[in-house]
Amino acid sequence: MVSSETVLGLGGTVDYEIDWNSAVLEDLAAEYGVTVAELTTQHPIASERDLVVSVLAFLKTGSGGERFVASSGIVEAFAARFTSRVTLGGTGVRAALAMEVLGVTSTLHLVSIDDHVRRLLPPGSAYISSAAGDTTDPHLIIQFPVGARVRLGDAVLAASHANRLIYSNDPPNQTLYLSPELPAALRQASLFLVSGFNSMQDAAALDERLDELRMAMVCLPPDATVFYEDSGFHRPEFTARVLTALLDTIDVYSMNEDELENHLGRAVDLLDPSAVHAALVDIGELIPARHMVVHTKYWSVVLGGGAAGDAGAAGDAGGEGDAAPASDATRYREALRGGILMASTRYRFGDGFTLADYEGMAGERQNPAGVAVASALRELLPGAVCIPGFQLDDPSPTTIGLGDSFVGGFIAALRRGRAV
């Protein structure tokens, strides 16, 4: 029987990470006759032309996202036009890879397996899988740097932010079958990461899987922590079904800025304290989680429960402050710090970062704009703990897997702060 203090689920992926090449995009756009007027991030992707339209639409706004494509063949054909590399993805897998740098091992729940997965999984972690045999359904991962430019007719599209895009058609993750070994794995777990429902396509299958997951989670010890990481749902209407089924079991509900905006149905100025305050109040009403985490490039925050502790702990929102007694305030402040450190380290150093890289990141200067927002939230939301991000101006950052690395850093810090 596989057992670990930390179980990370529910699915992993094989990723084709391509190197950004504006010239290839320009040639494809010209070949397909793409115009600025038709750029949209919401149109179904049934062809390579649709994929080009989607990528350019995201580039134009500088935003990131995740989208379903009609077939893996579209991913394969597009990726073949670029220099690329094979890596592993999925929130649980990338979190495990990040945690292992800190010496924290885990048990992964997978829904697919092949030689890429066996070769690239973190060597110190175990896995269980619902896969009946080997399959490979690659996810296309695109990251563009800030200022990336693509000429489209008479217009020039320029990215206002570095960001990442994910495109996939992955049947194992669409069905998300659970391993029969999951209940036994959960009996010894003090922390369980739930993610992956965003890829599912069928409502009946989703409801069935949610029921099965709730039954498996009965095996968790009473004091175990359940961490749910949100993500871009291929079918947005499924979000409500997941919330209805799982919200009462979730201790920490986490999302990034893209998911925050998707839930709210509006853009949020992350550097405007009033806009941030309104967004956090609204998301708390929309998703009344015990603890809500929102992680962004400028700041990260935890809301709800006893996260902020007393007024003294809440007053620490703008920086590290004085040491506090062991409490939820201390644990979640340190967990936020751990998540920010891990995501920032990956942003700067990519896949191959080391423990020395992670530890050195702590000495970086905090982002002044993030400091201002965190300080304002101290007054606007005394029930919140907010920590600024770092001032990182790397010319060629890694934007892939930052949220997953945040999750890994957050979870690892929780384990240090408590026998979670």
Establish whether domains 6-13+90-134+171-417 and 14-87+138-168 are of one fold.
no
Buried b vs exposed e over 260-278: b needs ≥16 C-beta within 10 Å?
A: bbbbeeeebebeebeebbe
Nearest to 190 by CA among 228, 226, 229: 226
Digitized pLDDT (tens) for each residue of the chain, 420 residues in all? 455 799 999 999 999 999 999 999 999 999 999 999 999 999 999 999 999 999 999 999 998 888 999 999 999 999 999 999 999 999 999 999 999 999 999 999 999 999 999 999 999 999 999 999 999 999 999 999 999 999 999 999 999 988 999 999 999 999 999 999 999 999 999 999 999 999 999 999 999 999 999 999 999 999 999 999 998 888 999 999 999 999 999 999 999 999 999 999 999 999 999 999 999 999 999 999 999 999 999 999 999 876 655 433 333 434 433 333 346 778 899 999 999 999 999 999 998 899 999 999 999 999 999 999 999 999 999 889 999 999 998 888 888 899 999 999 999 999 876 533
CATH topology of domain 14-87+138-168: Adenosine kinase, small domain (3.30.1110)
Question: What is the DSSP-derived secondary structure letter of residue 69?
Answer: B
CA pair distance 114, 119, nearest whole angstrom: 9
CATH architecture of 6-13+90-134+171-417: 3-Layer(aba) Sandwich (3.40)
Predicted TM-score (pTM) of this structure: 0.87
* Matching residue, tokens 């930052």: 402
Domain ranges of the chain: 6-13+90-134+171-417, 14-87+138-168
